[in-house]
Chains A and B, each alone.
Chain A
């Protein structure tokens, strides 16, 4: 999976261009996240605003992406669409991740 990546004020924003992180995409997503977060800023924001659907495989892959970044680094989420927000709320994963309405809001708040 190809992920788009930009840097703002020491925060790396990773955008998922695909519309689903499901069983068919979970492994490719996790591998792409490993590559894009292998070095660089300790603070990463994953912009999910293009992603309309995440199943439990995708949820597990997002958790794995956070864990593989290593201790002392941070993965926030931004731009959760309604069905994705529902999965995070039900599984209480919304209490584990810092979730921003928008990725650029995460940068402004943390850098400002």
Chain B
């Protein structure tokens, strides 16, 4: 069985918080394990922060759309916005920043795309008609036929 839901938020930090809380509550209600909910929230937080900080940088905060599709074995989110296109022609590779020798040399940023890449099965980006669409796909534990995920609640 496939379930879908759509949510919207203004591209502001506090609205992103509310959007993440709403999304997590819905995933939890669908029986997703807490660890998986956490993985999804980490990835969505980074992708949504990128929209707030980059796509709508220097402009009035626009709208963000979130569409989720929960199917057997997969969970896919599509985030859409009408902000600036992604600067790079290709999606960032998302390498782990060099931690160097620690101390003063430690990086304070550059972890966002690394976390997105590490925790998703597939990331796709599409720019069309002045809109960005980022899709983020996760693998889920396969249901056991009872309609409930096999992962512990």
Chain A interface residues toward B at CB < 8 A = 20, 22-24, 53, 55-57, 59-61, 63-64, 66-67, 71, 82-83, 86-87, 90-93, 95-96
Contact = CB atoms under 8 A, between A and B. Distances in A.
Given A23-B53, A57-B49, A82-B35, A67 B42 contact: no
Given A23-B13, A23-B45, A64-B108, 11 more contacts: A55-B46, A56-B49, A56-B115, A66-B106, A82-B35, A83-B41, A86-B35, A90-B115, A92-B99, A96-B99, A96-B106
B52 interface: yes
A60 B102 contact: no
Contacts, number: 75
Q: Which applies to chain A's interface (DSSP): helix, strand, loop or mixed?
A: helix
B17 A20 contact: yes
Contacts of B16: 23-24
A63 B107 contact: yes
A90 B102 CA distance: 16
Given A60-B111, A83-B42, A86-B42, A55 B99 contact: no
Interface in B45-79: 45-46, 49, 52-53
Q: Which applies to chain B's interface (DSSP): helix, strand, loop or mixed?
A: helix
Interface string B87-112: 00000000010010011101111111
B120 interface: no
Nearest to B114: A91
A87 B115 contact: yes
Nearest to B44: A55
B17 A24 contact: yes
Contact of A59 (B111, B118, B119): B111
Contacts of A22: 13, 17, 45, 49
Contacts of B35: 82, 86
B122 interface: no
Contacts of B107: 60, 63
B128 interface: no
A59 B108 CA distance: 7
B111 to A, nearest CB: 4
A21 B114 CA distance: 19
A83 B38 contact: yes
